[in-house]
Amino acid sequence: MRKHESREDYLVAILQVSNEKDFVRSIDVARAMSFSKPSVSIAMTKLSDEKLIKIDQKGHIHLTEEGYNIASKVYERHKKVAKLLVSLGVSEETAYEDACKLEHDFSDETWQIIKKHIENVIGKID
């Protein structure tokens, strides 16, 4: 996995956990990603150094505006690509696995065209 993919996956995991819980801790991210706590702790330090997250005194993780923007963009791509693949007949499990592989690599230009096509074919997806 390339560095930016890993970073984006962590940011999306933080976003998803924050949508389900009042606060996000490293252990929550570790559970969501099925990673070890030490691996997540190292990643959180790097994300903090990159100013993509903030960690408060209680150890709660918060996405910065930049971190949130990255996470939202990747998560939107993931959901829409997975739904498109399912609509084409791909099993849901495979569609979500493949969406994880594809969500990181589209250029913005290509993504906008794919997104428009998805919305024309299967409607808007939240």
The overall average pLDDT reported for the chain is: 91
Q: What is the pLDDT of residue 31?
A: 96
Do both 7 and 58 map to the same domain? yes
Do both 15 and 57 map to the same domain? yes
Q: How far is CA 89 from CA 76, 80, 82, in A?
A: 20, 14, 11
67, pLDDT greater than 70: yes
Over residues 76-95, the pLDDT tens digits come to: 999 989 988 998 899 999 99
The CATH number of whichever domain residue 52 belongs to comes to 1.10.10.10
Contacts of 117 (CB under 8 A, 6+ apart): none
Q: What is the pLDDT of residue 93?
A: 94
Using a 10 angstrom Cβ sphere, with 0-12 exposed, 13-18 middle and 19 or more buried, the burial of residue 62 is middle
Domain hosting residue 29, numbered range: 3-68
| Count of domains for the chain | 2
Do both 53 and 97 map to the same domain? no
The CATH number of whichever domain residue 97 belongs to comes to 1.10.60
Would you mind telling me the total number of residues written for the chain in this entry?
126
| E strand residue ranges, the chain | 53-55, 61-63
